[in-house]
Amino acid sequence: MATTTMTIAKALNEALRKSLETDAKVVLMGEDIGKLGGVFRITDGLQKDFGENRVIDTPLAESGIVGTAIGLALRGYRPVVEIQFDGFVFPAYDQIVTQLAKMHARALGKIKLPVVIRIPYAGGIGAVEHHSESPEVLFAHIPGLKVVSPSNPQDAYWMLQQAIDCDDPVIFFEPKRRYWDKGEVDPTAIPAPLHTAHTVLDGTDVTLAAYGPMVKVCLEAAAAAAEEGRSLEVVDLRSLSPVDFDTLQASVQKTGRLVTVHEAPVFLGMGAEIAARITERCFYHLQAPVLRVGGFHAPYPPARLEEEYLPGLDRVLDAVDRALAY
């Protein structure tokens, strides 16, 4: 397949198809992922092509789905679980934290659990309650779990395949409001390691660090700042556990300023950990405190208010102004 333009949703679909073709031990599980093709159609056509034994429509029971996936992994399979919406993952949180994350260590390395849990996350689609959560930090905090989130079709295609190939459990967060964003996908490329950050835009004045849905907002902020003569560097973290602090450190040593951006609440969020680590690593390079932009410390609001809740261009540029004012 030659380089082609596709949406993130299509790139994820192609990645799942490739993994199913490559490894007979890969199985997909989730609510409505078979005949319907998933709520967002990420698994569209896969049950038809690979059969009901490999693309499995499950009952509406997230704890049971993840528990079954753990059992399959113990028997040598590589289950890929779809959680229909971010807010539905919490019934399975016990299974993920107390079993999936700990089994490898508990068995002194003798047991591997190659389970991928796909979670459409974050807001911006006008959904109802429990359908627009950003729980990524709850998983990144847990030792034994790897946590990643692509922001573009190329990364979606390669990172999902890399996650499925990984022998450790991976929580794969998919930015649902970016599912229909288009970009180039090169299936012949040599992908970067799964847990590396990418500098997607070079700059000199301020580093913006983001992941998933906020990378596009940061690129838009950089374009707006450029019109005023300011040069912003944008780093796509891609991986939330582990975090590629080396790439981020190199950027901050160049710019002297850092603003972290994510949809999740700022309080105890990913930005807080990044701010602490970069302050430790770059204390003598920083010309301003590390600033954080994110959601408010409040439950996600009704759909008509989500634009007031979500970090947007103005809030990112305001933080850039504050960083440059020091």
Which tens digit of pLDDT belongs to each residue from 45-94? 999 999 999 999 999 999 999 999 999 999 999 999 999 999 999 999 99
Q: Which of 131, 195, 198, 262 is catalytic?
A: 131
Assigned CATH class of 7-185:
alpha beta
Token pair recorded at residue 269:
């969020």
Residue ranges, comma separated, of all CATH 3.40.50.920 domains in the chain are: 198-325
| pTM exceeds 0.75 | yes
Alpha helices in 178-295 (DSSP H): 214-226, 245-255, 270-281
Q: Is 195 a catalytic residue?
A: no
Residue ranges, comma separated, of all CATH 3.40.50.970 domains in the chain are: 7-185
pLDDT tens, position by position, 134-179: 999 999 999 999 999 999 999 999 999 999 999 999 999 999 999 9
Asked if residues 86 and 132 have their Cβ atoms less than 8 Å apart, the reply is yes
**Nearest to residue 120, comparing CAs of 39, 18, 211?**
39
Q: How far apart are CA 100 and CA 215, in angstroms?
A: 29
Q: Does domain 198-325 have CATH number 3.40.50.920?
A: yes
Ordered mean pLDDT values, 10 residues apiece, the chain (326 residues): 91 98 98 96 97 97 97 97 97 97 96 97 94 97 98 98 98 98 95 97 98 98 97 98 98 98 97 98 97 96 92 97 95
